[in-house]
Amino acid sequence: MTDGRSVEELVVGVLGGTGPQGRGLGMRLAAAGQRVLLGSREAGRAEEIAAEVADRALAAAAGAEVSVRGGSNADVAGAADLVIVAVPYAGHAATLADLASPLAGKVVVDCVVPMGFDELGAYLLDVPEGSVALQAAALLPDSTVVGAFHHLSAVLLQDLSRPTLDGDVMVVGDDRAATDLVQALAGRLPGMRGIYAGRLRNAAQVEALTINLVSVNRRYKAHAGIRVTDV
């Protein structure tokens, strides 16, 4: 999966890395010294955004070497060691179905939330497989799918005036080595911990909790995250 390499040595790719969540994760990880590849449906757009993200990460890097490059989602899926999926739910299945081959043998981290909005606010969309992470696992039989990074606000991730984030990352998955790796990756975000939160069949609750956080945010004008106590 990662040939025994530690998390610091891995190149992290982000599919849909041009959006707020992908940019935010990419920026924080790059500032911590992680090599990052941002993917897009248009390689040129990813290259432009990668340059901006690299500049911002460098300003916050405290001496760490910063490496952020952009490319097509397919190129990023092929070149990265570990890949985060940060496309909207509407594009999730089609994006992954196209990339099953370059993603084979890799850890794929899904942070996609199946969320709709109506006049009552945010609500959970029905996912036929039971959760977005299980949909990913069905589409990527030769990858190791982990769910994580659902409860992080893209606004706070990108706000480098806050050097430290405040929250935990719930990590779900069936492969212990993969969940350990993603917990370690989450721990590279300043102030955050990765907390194992169950098997992949429990991803639905983790995804759905994001809807509650969005409701908190709307009522309290906040960017709420979660902390797991007594761990």
Ligand X SMILES: NC(=O)c1ccc[n+]([C@@H]2O[C@H](COP(=O)([O-])OP(=O)(O)OC[C@H]3O[C@@H](n4cnc5c(N)ncnc54)[C@H](OP(=O)(O)O)[C@@H]3O)[C@@H](O)[C@H]2O)c1
Residues in contact with ligand X by the rule CB under 6 A? 16, 18-22, 40-42, 45, 86-91, 95, 111-113, 115, 150, 152-154, 210
Nearest to ligand X of 35, 223 (CB atom): 223
Minimum distance, C-beta of residue 91 to ligand X, in the bound complex (Å)? 2
Minimum distance, C-beta of residue 106 to ligand X, in the bound complex (Å)? 19
Nearest to ligand X of 45, 193 (CB atom): 45
Nearest to ligand X of 1, 195 (CB atom): 195
Minimum distance, C-beta of residue 165 to ligand X, in the bound complex (Å)? 13
Q: Which two tokens stand for residue 74?
A: 């397919």
Q: Which residue type does 230 have?
A: D
Evaluate the CA torsion angle 169, 167, 205, 139 in order and state its sign: negative
Nearest to ligand X of 35, 92 (CB atom): 92
Minimum distance, C-beta of residue 143 to ligand X, in the bound complex (Å)? 18
The span from the first CA to the last CA of the chain, in angstroms, equals 28
Minimum distance, C-beta of residue 10 to ligand X, in the bound complex (Å)? 20
Minimum distance, C-beta of residue 9 to ligand X, in the bound complex (Å)? 25
Alpha-carbon distance values, 187 to 18, 110, 166, 172, 221 (Å):
23, 17, 12, 15, 27
Residue nearest to ligand X (CB): 91
The backbone torsions φ and ψ at residue 59, rounded to the nearest 5 degrees and listed phi first, read -65, -25
Contacts 24+ apart (CB under 8 A), 198-201: 198/172, 199/172, 199/173, 199/174, 200/131, 200/133, 200/134, 200/137, 200/145, 200/146, 200/147, 200/172, 200/173, 200/174, 201/130, 201/134
Nearest to ligand X of 41, 193 (CB atom): 41
Q: What gap in Å lies between CA 97 and CA 50, rounded to an integer?
A: 25
Nearest to ligand X of 89, 196 (CB atom): 89
